[in-house]
Homo-oligomer: A and B are copies of this chain.
């Protein structure tokens, strides 16, 4: 993402609020893929094309902007996410209801 951004000289556009709105845009596209699917059939329906590829693309767009935002903020996302998961495991012992996090 750093190389991709640098090659295009896009970093002046990448202030945190702008990247965050771009991430929101991609989450919206992801939502549009699933909004009208029956909730209990969505997982199965996503195993077939064209939804499978489309979902992969939108999940990827969200991930790429998330990585870009972490980089802009100087946050090590992998370290931070592992710490969050370890913390969640302590705060929500097995048997806890599904309100995490």
Give the interface of A toward B (CB within 8 A). 1, 4, 7-10, 13, 15-18, 20-32, 34-40, 42-43, 46-47, 52, 55-57, 59-64, 66, 69-70, 72-75, 77, 80-81, 83-85, 88-89, 92, 94-96, 98-101
**A40 nearest in chain B by CB position:** B15
Residues of B within 8 A of A46 (CB): 16, 73-75
**A83 nearest in chain B by CB position:** B60
**Chain B nearest CB: distance from A27 CB in Å?**
6
Contact check, A98 vs B10: say whether CB atoms are below 8 A apart. Answer: yes
**Copies of this chain, whole number:** 4
Residues of B within 8 A of A57 (CB): 80, 84
**A38 nearest in chain B by CB position:** B39
